[in-house]
């Protein structure tokens, strides 16, 4: 029963087949005395595995992009500050509407600056930058790594801008004593410093996200074989979600480490959010350096050009009786026979 269950899981879809190929490559590498360029090469039928060489090369191509995608985790921790730290900061700044009939700016609405400039940046790239590069005889696609890198640097700048705003906000509180402000039925002791001073940090994050997220999704689509594109883009979005989860965990770590002089207490007026934001900027700087090293060492697939221009074609051949293709049509169970029957 267990064997039948595993058979259906591992051979009925692209993800299962890819995982089974990876498993077979690792097991065969452990058993073999031959030295091959990659551990995935052991899964090729020509080396005793169950998969076509083409299928293995496709998975190798996709696996190469994962380290670059993982460097985005720290960036998405920064990205999630808009819904947390930036919001807490805005609630304790002057939102207006203190006089009868006055309009109070909703603290959460400051994100509109991020998404407006995000949309504008994407449109500007598509309508101006890319056509201009094409007229100059250059392809826009080789700039993906550059765009991601610039986006990371702008993310660092956004955290520094937010930290500077926090320094001035705390100074304003100290000098003026601040005032009590009602936001969504809750009273916050706020500085007289206008919430509009947050605009630069949201604009920086908007341009940054337009570069990192858009170029990241393009990269995972272009660098992956056709059959794995959906899977690789799903992994990229999973990393985006993971960044949000780790953002909460990171706050907990900072709170535990700085318990004697809290950086991120429940009431941020009593803490040092500026230190926290500078720490995030430093962490992103370290991640950016790692990203540069990975990109420097990265070697794209020789098929990358044909993928980018939509002509991803291989010389097809009919699989042999003992081979499994990446997208199995008859749910072959060679890998299970290999990993379970020979154990």
Instruction: Give the pLDDT band (50/70/90) at residue 13.
Output: low
Contact 37, 177 (CB under 8 A): no
Token digits of residue 46: 């020509």
Q: Please give the Cα distance from 296 to 127 (Å, whole number).
A: 30
Task: State the pLDDT at residue 323.
Answer: 41
Higher pLDDT, 262 or 337: 262
Task: State the pLDDT at residue 231.
Answer: 81
DSSP 260: T
Task: State the pLDDT at residue 313.
Answer: 34
Task: State the pLDDT at residue 54.
Answer: 79
Residue the block writes with tokens 């058979």: 7
pLDDT in tens, 115-171: 999 999 999 988 888 888 778 776 654 478 889 999 999 999 999 999 999 999 999
Task: Report which secondary-structure segment, H or E, holds 119.
Answer: helix 111-124
Contact 232, 62 (CB under 8 A): yes
- Burial level of 264, CB count in 10 A (0-12/13-18/19+)? buried
Task: State the pLDDT at residue 5.
Answer: 42
Helix axes 229-257, 53-70, angle to 10 degrees: 30
Q: Please give the Cα distance from 88 to 49 (Å, whole number).
A: 55
Residues of the chain with pLDDT > 70: what percent? 81
- In the three-class reduction of DSSP (H, G, I as helix; E, B as strand; rest coil), residue 318 is classed as coil
Task: Report which secondary-structure segment, H or E, holds 18.
Answer: helix 14-31
Task: State the pLDDT at residue 341.
Answer: 44
Task: State the pLDDT at residue 138.
Answer: 66
pLDDT in tens, 225-244: 777 888 888 888 899 889 88
Q: Please give the Cα distance from 195 to 114 (Å, whole number).
A: 14
Mean pLDDT of 53-60: 81
How many Å is the Cα radius of gyration of the chain?
26
Q: Could you please report the per-residue DSSP string of 58-117?
A: HHHHHHHHHHHHHTHHHHHHHHGGGGTHHHHHHHTSB-S--STTPPPPPGGGGHHHHHHH
What is the separation, in whole angstroms, between the first and last Cα of the chain?
17
Q: Please give the Cα distance from 71 to 66 (Å, whole number).
A: 9
Task: State the pLDDT at residue 120.
Answer: 95
Mean pLDDT of 51-61: 81
Q: Which of 69-83, 94-108, 248-262, 291-305 has the lowest mean pLDDT?
A: 291-305
**Alpha carbon of residue 104 to chain centroid:** 34
Mean pLDDT of 214-227: 83
């Amino acid at each position: 029963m267990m064997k039948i269950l595993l058979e259906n899981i591992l051979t009925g879809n692209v993800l299962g087949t890819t995982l089974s190929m990876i498993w077979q490559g690792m097991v065969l590498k452990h058993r073999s005395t031959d030295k091959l360029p990659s551990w995935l090469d052991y899964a090729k039928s020509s080396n005793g595995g169950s998969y076509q060489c083409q299928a293995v090369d496709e998975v190798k191509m996709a696996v190469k992009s994962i380290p670059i995608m993982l460097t985005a985790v720290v960036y998405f921790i920064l990205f999630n500050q808009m819904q947390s730290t930036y919001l807490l900061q805005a609630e304790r700044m002057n939102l207006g509407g203190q006089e009868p009939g006055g309009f109070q700016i909703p603290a959460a609405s400051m994100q509109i600056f991020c998404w407006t400039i995000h949309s504008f940046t994407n449109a500007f790239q598509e309508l101006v930058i890319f056509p201009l590069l094409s007229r100059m005889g250059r392809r826009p696609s080789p700039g993906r790594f550059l765009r991601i890198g610039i986006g990371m640097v702008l993310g660092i700048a956004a955290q520094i801008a937010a930290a500077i705003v926090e320094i001035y906000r705390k100074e304003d509180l100290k000098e003026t004593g601040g005032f009590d402000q009602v936001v969504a039925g809750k009273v916050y002791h706020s500085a007289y410093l206008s919430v509009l001073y947050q605009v630069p940090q949201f604009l920086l994050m908007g341009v940054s996200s337009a570069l990192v997220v858009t170029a990241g999704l393009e990269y995972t689509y272009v660098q992956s074989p056709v059959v794995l594109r959906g899977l690789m883009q799903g992994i990229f979005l999973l990393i985006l979600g993971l960044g949000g989860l780790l953002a909460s965990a990171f706050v907990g770590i900072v709170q535990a480490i700085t318990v004697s002089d809290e950086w991120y207490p429940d009431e941020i007026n009593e803490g040092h959010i500026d230190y926290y934001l500078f720490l995030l900027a430093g962490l992103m700087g370290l991640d950016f350096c790692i990203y540069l090293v990975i990109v420097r060492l990265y070697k794209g697939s020789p098929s990358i050009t044909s993928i980018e221009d939509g002509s991803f074609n291989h010389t097809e051949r009919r699989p042999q009786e003992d081979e499994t293709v990446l997208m199995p049509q008859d749910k072959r169970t060679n890998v299970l026979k290999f990993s379970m029957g020979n154990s």
